Amino acid sequence: MIDMESKYGIPTVAVHVHVFARLVDSTARTNGMPRARQAFVPAPMFNQPPAVLRGYIEGDDAVHGGPFMRRVFDLLTEPIPGEDLRGSGWERSTPRLIEPDTEDNLERLFRENHWTDYLPIVLPTEERVEAMLAGTSRGPDEVVGKHRPTIGMELWESTVEKAAVNAVMAGAAPEHFPVILALCASGDTGRQSSMSSMGNMVVVNGPIRSEIGMNSGIGALGPYNHANSAIGRAFGLASQNLQGGSVPGISYGGSQGCNLSYNCCTFAENEERSPFRPFHVHRGYEPEESTVTVFYVWGSVWSEHLRSYWQEKLQAMMSGLEPLEGALLVLDPIVAREFCDRGLDSQEKIAEWVFENVRIPARRYWDHIMLNMVHEQVEAGVEPWASLSKADPDELIPLFQTFGVNVVVTGGETNGHFSIFQGAQMPPAFRSDPTLPLTAPIDPWR
Amino acid sequence: MAVATKQKLTVLNPEGYPPKVDARGMAPALETLQGKRLFLVDIGFENSGPFMAQLHGWLEEHEPDIRTEVVRWRDQHNPDPELCARIAAEGDAAIVGVGT
């Protein structure tokens, strides 16, 4: 919309739902057009019948008041001041140091600036940051990557020192820092601003797991290990601060939010007890390389053991998930071996089983998420979406393609626990750098 | 809980580096919409198509002198240069939505 005005000279009113008024205002300012033409209808927009939509049009602007259509006409016909015809640009930066103050006042300042997760932080003094920097061979001024809350928002940049500041705040140790740097360089964010309230799951593979004492055994997904807890928290804090914020209504839009965001559900794969290839080897790395993989997850269902009715159970557990957003199976080693006993002795075979056996009616498949996210590919003839779009409404079609199913093994074998998360990796276009690998190497950051 | 010290500390700012904001000028306003061609751009989020259809119906009913056409943005997350060029060539103004 900004391009339509500034590049093509088309007076354009952008219509938004009212809950994003502050986000829209912020985006307009940072795009150099602070008074862009905006009009607002009430939320919700999704899943509303035509009569409700007509009511929005015939009602009042949900932010500014007065008839909605009157505002649209006024925005297109009222003269624009010269300063807005020119736009408004400026240089920005952030200072390296903060004005010295007491511990209490600094803690409060960090909270008020939305730089924390509202739990106590370790204040990043110069001495602590310097100690963190000893955890990498990289220089403090080296650029780590670019960051943004979601597609379409501006890209901020980070350095090794800025990542170290956030690692200190999270309570991480210098030996954790290469993993944190790899996460910051991954093109992913631990504070994704989706309305859908997604969180993260971070999986670490390779020798660094044992070198820094990560947990892949009993309680791997819980708060029982320094490295698991601090690395995940550091990824979250670094994401929100390096990308320019994660503030509800401005740079975060998830309706409910996600509790997994506190430490991005960070754990190590139990490669030693898994019957499968380690996840990073599955992704093309050597076993002696260390990697980190970021998934975006929404929630999970769980069960224990693959019992006599395991196929029926898996179908039931998975068929309520949303298409497109993927499935992430997190298996205790006991359950991984039970899959092997049933002939599914690799991640690929489990994904193929899901593709063949978990199916839903096309009418349900093509509602909501798929309707929102895939129509461009359908119209462009991209497979498999183009063919699937031709299915009869009651035809049963695969809920997930094989590439949408991932399998990770972790846990301490106290029982045959497994969880199926609605979750996937972010499509390249949504990542801050679409050329980066989906599983990121850690070793270059040592 | 440890008692916080009254000593003043120097700490580092945790924020990344924002990009420069480039000035982007708005398009001049129209003197009137009567007799003009208004494009209604469906950006592709759920229900933005039906919303634009309702808007199209409302304008035909209440403002018949404004010519309207509903078009669809090819990619809901990125500008559609071909469509923008067409609107610039054939239209006078646009309503884009619905941003969620």
The model's pLDDT over B40-85, given as tens digits with 9 standing for 90+, comes to 999 988 889 999 999 999 999 999 999 999 999 887 777 789 999 9
Q: Which pLDDT does position A425 carry in this prediction?
A: 94
pLDDT for residue B99 = 76
pTM to 2 decimal places:
0.94
Q: Lowest-pLDDT range, A46-50, A259-263, A269-273?
A: A46-50
The 8-class DSSP code of residue A124 comes to -
Tell me which residue of A248, A264, A247 sits closest to A113, measured CA to CA.
Answer: A247
Q: Do B54 and A50 touch (CB under 8 A)?
A: yes
- Give me the residue label for tokens 């070198």: A211
Q: Which residues of A touch B87 (CB under 8 A)?
A: 4, 8, 10
In the predicted structure, residue A392 carries a pLDDT above the cut 50: yes
Instruction: State the smallest CA–CA distance between residue B58 and chain A in angstroms.
Output: 8
Flag if B47 and A47 touch (Cβ within 8 Å).
yes
Closest CA to A200 of A170, A165, A239: A239
pLDDT score recorded for residue B1: 45
Reply yes or no on whether the pLDDT at A436 is more than 90: yes
ipTM of the complex, rounded to two decimals: 0.94
- Mean pLDDT calculated for residue range A93-107: 96
Listed range (A86-90, A132-136, A254-258, B37-41) with the worst mean pLDDT: A86-90
Of the partner residues A4, A88, A165, the one whose CB lies closest to the CB of residue B14? A165
Render pLDDT for A7-35 as a digit per residue (tens, 0 to 9): 999 999 999 999 999 999 998 999 899 99
Q: How many residues does chain B have?
A: 100
Q: Is the per-residue pLDDT at A124 higher than 80?
A: yes
| B87 in contact with chain A, both atoms CB, cutoff 8 A | yes
Q: Is A64 left (phi over 0), alpha (psi -120 to 50) or beta?
A: alpha
For an interface test with B, which of A40, A54, A76, A241 has the most B Cβ atoms less than 10 Å from its Cβ? A76
State whether residue A77 sits within 8 Å of chain B by CB.
yes
Contact A76 B78 (CB under 8 A): no
The verdict on a CB contact (< 8 Å) between A4 and B94 is yes
| Rounded mean pLDDT, A203-223 | 98
Task: Report whether A176 contacts A238 (CB < 8 A).
Answer: no
**What pLDDT is attached to residue A72?**
97
Query: Looking at residue B3, what is its pLDDT?
Result: 54
Query: What interhelical angle do A160-170 and A177-184 show, nearest 10?
Result: 120
Burial class of residue A343 (count of CB atoms within 10 Å of its CB; 0-12, 13-18, 19+):
exposed
Res B2 pLDDT > 60? no
| Chain A CB contacts of B19 below 8 Å | 92, 154-157
Set of chain B residues whose Cβ sits within 8 Å of the Cβ of A50: 50, 53-54
Using the predicted structure, report yes or no on whether residue B4 has a pLDDT greater than 70.
Answer: no
Q: Which residue has the higher pLDDT, B97 or A353?
A: A353
Over range A359-367, report the average pLDDT.
93
Biggest alpha carbon–alpha carbon distance for chain A: 74
Q: Average of pLDDT values for A297-317?
A: 96
Mean pLDDT in chain A?
95
Residue range A335-347, pLDDT digits in tens: 999 999 999 999 9
The mean pLDDT value for A71-86 works out to 95
Quote the minimal CA–CA distance from A200 to chain B in Å. Answer: 21
Residue A1 contacts B where some CB pair is shorter than 8 Å: yes
A48 pLDDT above the threshold of 70: yes
Q: Which two tokens stand for residue B34?
A: 């009567």
Whether residue A305 contacts residue A416, with contact meaning beta carbons closer than 8 Å, is answered with yes
Query: Looking at residue B55, what is its pLDDT?
Result: 97
Per-residue DSSP letter, B21: B
Which residues in A lie closer than 8 A to residue B79 (C-beta atoms)? 3-4
Of A442, A439, A422, A443, nearest to A188 by C-alpha is: A439
